[in-house]
Amino acid sequence: MLEQEQAKTGSPESKGQSVSESLGYLIKALRPKQWTKNLLVIIPIIFAVKLTDLKALSATITYAALFCLASSSVYLVNDVIDIEQDRIHPNKCKRPIAAGKISIPAALAFSFVLGSIALIGSFLLRPSLALIVLLYFLLNVLYGRVLKHQVLLDVIAVAAGFVLRTTGGCLVAQVPQSGWLCLCTTFGALFLALEKRRHELSILESQAQQHRPALLRYSESLLNRIESVIVPTVLICYILYSFLSYHGQWMMITVPFVFYGLVRYQLLSNEKILTGSPEEVLLKDRPIQITIVLWLLAAIGVLYGFIPQTFHALINWLDSLTVVRY
């Protein structure tokens, strides 16, 4: 009876937990694997060719770390709000708050501390950065209370969170916001959110409506039709972003990596592997990891002149070997 009562209230079995176990559950509740999403904060400084600006780089890394605290603060609140729905989910029921390993008051208190550090730290870096974090908080509160229950608006809200990350990255690095980068981020995030809905429909089946009422209006055919628009749009936006950049045709060599990443993700989705959690794909799927590393190396090589300079040097060297001169 005691265990049932604890499960209902969300209170932890604290008397049977050591300090190290409690700390472990707390760290798990922060969802550190999902911090990979905050790498988007670093993308603008890479594409603005400012990696050698140590002041901007340090500020960007600091802001990315603060955004990790902000996102963890949001995850704790969301887990408290969704505690009953998470308990009927085959995977989310293992989360510390849903499993009764961390009490609701403790989760909310720690969320407040993390959120305060993120806001104050961002303000000290640059006041406008605190506004981005505040908007991120408000967006997630609205999502948890209203938008997650509205079909299509739920995935749009998720995409907006990703756009806020890139916007913050532009502000902290003091580089202009790129419309093409914003579009790539928006449609890329929509694709990931739709894949997550597909995964939820697959694993929850008859319990889908209980976990998330909006899932009742999603279907395999609807998701296929939406993705048939979203996926080509992501690729076209990235192609235009690359071609219209300062480095033009050279950036086009990064397009095949983006194309492969998209179709690889769809392959995993078709095989019902991992795609309910993008961070799991990033951390576990080796082809995706290799693709991202190669894409980054190619992009940095072009943006910072290594690839064009090496190519021209190679061409000049080969031409110098020509025996017959005209």
Q: Where are the domains of the chain?
A: 28-176, 178-302
pLDDT of res. 12 = 45
In a 13 Å sphere around the CA of 163, the CA atoms on its Cβ side amount to 18
| Residue 316: exposure state from Cβ atoms within 10 A (0-12, 13-18, ≥19) | exposed
- The arrangement of secondary structure in 28-176, i.e. its CATH architecture, is Orthogonal Bundle (1.10)
Tens of pLDDT, residue by residue, the chain (326 residues): 334 444 444 454 545 567 778 788 888 889 998 999 999 999 999 998 999 999 999 999 999 999 999 999 999 998 898 888 778 777 778 888 888 888 889 889 999 999 999 999 999 999 999 999 999 999 998 998 888 888 899 999 999 999 999 999 999 999 988 888 899 999 999 999 998 888 888 776 656 555 666 777 888 899 999 999 999 999 999 999 888 887 778 999 999 999 999 999 988 888 766 656 788 888 888 999 999 999 999 999 999 999 999 999 999 998 888 665 55
Cβ contact 98:92 at 8 Å: yes
pLDDT of res. 324 = 57
Q: What angle do CA 257, 290, 31 make, to 5 degrees?
A: 105
| Residue 247: exposure state from Cβ atoms within 10 A (0-12, 13-18, ≥19) | buried
> From CA 316, how far away is CA 91, in angstroms rounded?
58
Supply the pTM of this predicted model.
0.85
